[in-house]
Amino acid sequence: MDICESKAVRSAFGFAVFFTSEGDMNLEYSVDQLYDTGWAPEGRGAKAAELERLPDGRLYPSVLRVQELFAASGYELAIRYVQLFECYRASWTDRNGAPAGAVVGADEREAAVYALAQLRQRTAKAPAANP
C-alpha cells in the first residue's frame, strides 16, 4: 500500500496523520481539523492572497500564510514533495532546529493546513510556562 493511500499513519513525532488519495476530501478534512482548533478567518481586513476558499465556501489560510503563522509561533515550516510516496511532507522545527512535528498530505495546501491544525492542537494542550 502506498503511504498516501493510507487512512492513518503514526508519525515519528507521536501523533496520527490522516490522509487518503481522494483529492479535495483530504483538504476538506484538514480544514475541518483546523476549524476544530478554534481557528477562524481573520476579519474583513484579511488580504485575499492570505485566504483560499473550499467549494463549500469555507475559508482557509494559503500556504504562504501558514508559513507566516508558523514563523510567528517560533517555528520554521518546510514543505517538500516525497517522490517515493507521491505526497507532500510538511515538517517544522523550533528555533534551535530541533524537529517539532511533521504531517503528510496529497498536496502542499493539504499538508500546510493540516500542519497548522496539528500545531494549534499541540500548543493548546501544552501547559503554560508561567502559570
Q: What is the pLDDT of residues 16-70, one digit of tens each?
A: 444 444 455 689 999 999 999 999 987 655 566 799 999 999 999 999 999 999 9
Helix-then-strand count for the chain, H and E: 3, 7
Q: What is the percent of the chain where pLDDT is above 90?
A: 66
User: 131 lies in a domain?
Assistant: no
Q: Can you state the angle between helices 108-125 and 63-72, rounded to 10 degrees?
A: 30
Residue 126: pLDDT band by 50, 70, 90 thresholds? low
Domains in the chain, number:
1
All cell numbers assigned to 94? 523550533
> CA 22, 120, 130: angle at the middle one, nearest 5?
165
Domain presence at residue 31: yes
- Residue 61 in any domain: the answer is yes
Instruction: Give domain status of residue 15, yes or no.
Output: yes
Q: By residue range, what is the domain housing residue 18? A: 3-40+48-125
Please give the share of the chain, as a percent, with pLDDT higher than 70: 71
Question: Residue 102: pLDDT band by 50, 70, 90 thresholds?
Answer: very high
